[in-house]
């Protein structure tokens, strides 16, 4: 049994009709669960949710009219109580984490079993963050950046890193800190070396990921 009280209303959003058909058959015999609608576009589910309340949305990331990540955020704004479960073929750790940041209650790969899907729906309804078995294994593996750890920066390097992230030029940083442009360039090179990156864009990206800026 999925829920002790009331009927669970669920919608499916996927641009592959065969996936929708498979999910409909899989969920058809689930007691206390009603598939209220299925959609192949983000616009379709948003329009539907303006007049219907949903407990669960099974959402694919790849849609023809919009990014599923952005759609997840929109659904949560429109209906904060709706639990969004991502059901995708994308297995990159960064994508999984981004989905959670955008309000998803769980992430399953499309090779998940019927039992995993049912369990995830129940866990999401009880307020948990839920994953299929393979996704749990992916999350448990730290990324290369995490394995490297956070570089040890001097107070001056942190200051310059923050200014770089705000788009201040070498000349601008030198003027504000009363240092020579050559000294600032040396600090920039040291930062690139410490973070093991080749350009400022990559430097800022990793610094943000590690919570330094």
Which residue spans of the chain are classified as CATH 1.10.10.10?
146-209
Q: What is the pLDDT of residue 207?
A: 85
Statement: 146-209 belongs to CATH 1.10.10.10: yes
C-alpha–C-alpha distance, residues 171 and 184, integer Å: 8
Average pLDDT of the chain is 90
* pLDDT bracket for residue 205 (50, 70, 90): confident
3-state secondary structure of 33: strand
Which residue spans of the chain are classified as CATH 3.40.50.2300?
8-140
* pLDDT bracket for residue 109 (50, 70, 90): very high
C-alpha–C-alpha distance, residues 158 and 117, integer Å: 45
Report if pTM > 0.85. no
C-alpha–C-alpha distance, residues 33 and 162, integer Å: 50
Q: What is the pLDDT of residue 63?
A: 93
- Judge whether 69 and 61 are in contact, CB under 8 Å: yes
Domain spanning 8-140: CATH superfamily: Response regulator (3.40.50.2300)
Q: Which residues pair with 88 in a beta bridge?
A: 109
């Amino acid at each position: 049994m999925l829920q002790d009280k009331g009927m669970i209303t669920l919608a499916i959003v996927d641009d592959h009709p065969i996936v929708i058909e498979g999910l409909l058959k899989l969920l058809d015999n689930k007691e206390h669960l009603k598939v209220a609608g299925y959609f192949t576009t983000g616009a379709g589910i948003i329009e539907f949710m303006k007049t219907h309340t949903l407990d669960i949305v099974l959402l694919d990331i790849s849609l023809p009219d919009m990014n599923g990540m952005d759609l997840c955020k929109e659904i949560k704004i429109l209906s904060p109580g709706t639990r969004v479960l991502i059901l995708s073929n994308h297995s990159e750790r960064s994508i999984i984490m981004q989905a959670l940041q955008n309000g998803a209650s769980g992430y399953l790969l499309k090779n998940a079993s019927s039992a995993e899907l049912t369990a995830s729906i129940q866990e999401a309804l009880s307020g948990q963050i839920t994953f299929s078995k393979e996704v749990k294994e992916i999350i448990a593996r730290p990324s290369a950046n995490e394995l490297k750890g956070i570089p040890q920066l001097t107070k001056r390097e942190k200051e310059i890193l923050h200014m770089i992230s705000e788009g201040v030029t070498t000349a601008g940083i030198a003027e504000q800190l009363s240092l020579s442009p050559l000294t600032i360039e040396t600090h920039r090179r040291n930062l690139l070396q410490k973070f093991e990156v080749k350009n400022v864009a990559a430097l800022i990206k990793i610094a943000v990921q590690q919570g330094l800026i």
